[in-house]
Chains A and B, each alone.
Chain A
Amino acid sequence: MSVNFTINGKPASSAAPSTTPLLWVIREDLKLTGTKFGCGAGLCGACMVHIDGKRAFSCQTQVSEVAGKSITTIEGLSADSSHPVQKAWIAERVPQCGYCQSGQIMSAADLLKQNPKPTRDEILEHMSTNICRCGTYPRIVRAIERVVREG
Chain B
Amino acid sequence: MSKHTKLFEAAVSRRQVMVGAAGLSFAFVATRAVSAAVLTTGPTGQVLNPWISIAADGTITIMSAATEMGQGSLTALPLIIAEELDADWSKVRITPAPPLDQIYGNPIFGGMMYTAGSTAVTAYYKPLRTIGAQVRRVLLDNAARKLGVTVDELTTEPSLVVHVKSGRKLSYGDIAAFAEVPKEAPAVKPEDLKKPSAFRLISKDVMRVEIPAKVNGSAKYSIDVQLPGMLYGTVVRAPVEGALPSSFDERGVRAIEGVIQAVKLPYGVGIIASTAWAAFAAQQVVADSVRWSRDGAAWGFDSDKGLEVFTAAVRDPDRKATDFFKLGDTRSEMPRAASTMDQVYLCDYAYHAQMEPLNAVASVSPAGDSAEIWCGTQSQTMAQEATAKALGIGRDKVKLNDLLMGGGFGRRGSRDMDFVIDAVLLSQAARAPVKVMWTREDDVRNGRFRPLSAHYLKAGFDASGAPMAYQHRLAGDRVTPFADPLRYEKAGKKDFILMLGADLKGYDVPNQLVEQIYEDTGVRTSPLRGISFTANKFAAETFVDEIAVRNGVDPLKYRLQLLGKAPRAVAVVERVAAMANWGRKVEGRGFGIAFLDYAGSQVAGIIEISLERETGKIKAHNFWCAIDCGVAVQPDNIIAQTEGSAIYGLGLVLSERISIRDGAVEQSNFYDYLVPRLNEVPLLHTEIVQTDNHPTGVGQMSTPLVAPAISNAVMQLTGVRLRHAPFTPERVKAALG
Contact = CB atoms under 8 A, between A and B. Distances in A.
A27 B277 CA distance: 11
Contact of B70 (A31, A74, A98): A98
B215 A86 contact: yes
Contacts of A35: 217
Contact of B217 (A32, A39, A136, A137): A32
A134 B679 CA distance: 15
B544 interface: no
A141 to B, nearest CB: 7
Interface residues of B, number: 64
Contacts of B676: 135, 137
Contacts of A16: 275, 277
Interface stretch (B203-211, B496-504, B591-599): B203-211
Nearest to A39: B440
B643 A135 contact: yes
B70 A137 contact: no
Interface in A99-151: 99-102, 105, 123-125, 127-128, 130-141
B357 A38 contact: yes
Contacts of A97: 69-70, 354-356, 404-408
Contact of A128 (B636, B637, B679, B683): B679
B671 A41 contact: yes
Contacts of B214: 95, 98, 101
A77 to B, nearest CB: 8
B678 A44 contact: no
Q: Is the interface of A mostly helix, strand, loop or mixed?
A: loop
A98 B647 contact: no
Contact of A37 (B257, B404, B437, B671): B437
Interface stretch (B103-111, B220-228, B560-568): B220-228
Interface in B425-457: 437, 439-441
B212 interface: yes
Contacts of A73: 217
Contact of A99 (B71, B355, B671, B683): B355
Most central of A40, A97, A101, A132 by chain B CB within 10 Å: A97
Contacts of B669: 39-41, 43
B355 A100 contact: yes
A130 B678 CA distance: 8
A96 B355 contact: no
Given A93-B207, A97-B404, A124-B678, A43 B671 contact: yes
A138 B71 contact: no
Given A17-B257, A36-B406, A98-B210, A44 B218 contact: no
Given A36-B355, A81-B216, A138-B684, 16 more contacts: A27-B276, A28-B275, A40-B439, A40-B441, A75-B217, A78-B216, A90-B215, A93-B640, A95-B211, A96-B72, A97-B354, A97-B355, A101-B214, A101-B215, A128-B678, A137-B681
22 contacts: A20-B277, A27-B276, A31-B226, A33-B220, A34-B218, A38-B355, A38-B440, A40-B441, A41-B669, A93-B640, A95-B214, A96-B640, A97-B405, A97-B406, A98-B406, A99-B354, A125-B679, A132-B678, A133-B407, A133-B648, A134-B70, A136-B643
